[in-house]
Amino acid sequence: MKIGLEVHIALPTKSKLFCGCSTEQTELPNSHVCPVCMGFPGSKPVLNKKALEVCLSVANALKCKLAESTSFIRKTYFYPDLPKSFQISQLDQAVGTDGRVIIKTSAGSKEIRITRVQLEEDPAKIIRGEDYTLIDFNRAGVPLAEIVTAPDISSEEELSSFINELRSILYYQGVDINKELKADLNISTTGDRVEIKNVTGVKNLLDAMRYEVSRQEELARNGHEIHSETRSYDESKMETVGSREKESAEEYGFIFEPDLTVYDTSWAVLKEPVIASRIAEEYSKKYNYSEGTIYDLIKFDMKALEFIDSAKERYSMQSVVGCIELLKKYDLMSIDEASFEKVLKALDSGISLDESKIKLLISGKNVEERHLNDEIIEDIIRKEIGDAEKFKEEYARNPKIINFIVGKVVKEYGASPGYVAEKIRKMLNL
Interface residues toward other proteins, by CB under 8 A: 35, 38-47, 74, 76, 78-80, 83-86, 131-132, 251, 253-256, 258-261
Residue 188: CB minimum distance to other proteins, A:
22
Burial class from Cβ neighbours inside 10 Å (0-12, 13-18, 19+) for residue 220 reads middle
Task: Give 84 or 231: the residue with its C-beta nearer to other proteins.
Answer: 84
| Angle (nearest 5°) at CA 328 between 322 and 330 | 105
Residue 131: CB minimum distance to other proteins, A:
8
Report whether 241 contacts 46 (CB < 8 A): no
Task: Give 30 or 105: the residue with its C-beta nearer to other proteins.
Answer: 30
- Please provide the DSSP assignment of 10-53 as one string: E---SB-SSSS-B----SSTT-S--TTTTT-TT------HHHHH
Residue 253: CB minimum distance to other proteins, A:
4
Task: Give 49 or 65: the residue with its C-beta nearer to other proteins.
Answer: 49
Helix (H) or strand (E) holding 163: helix 156-171
Task: Give 190 or 198: the residue with its C-beta nearer to other proteins.
Answer: 198
Task: Give 30 or 288: the residue with its C-beta nearer to other proteins.
Answer: 30
**What distance in Å separates the CA atoms of residue 49 and residue 16, rounded to the nearest whole number?**
10
Pairing of strands 133-136, 143-149: unpaired
Beta-bridge partners for 240? 233
CA distances from 158 to 107, 123, 155, 282 (A): 10, 30, 5, 22
Going by the DSSP 8-state scheme, the letter that residue 88 receives in this structure is E
Residue 143: CB minimum distance to other proteins, A:
16
Residue 36: CB minimum distance to other proteins, A:
9
Task: Give 262 or 338: the residue with its C-beta nearer to other proteins.
Answer: 262
Residue 73: CB minimum distance to other proteins, A:
10
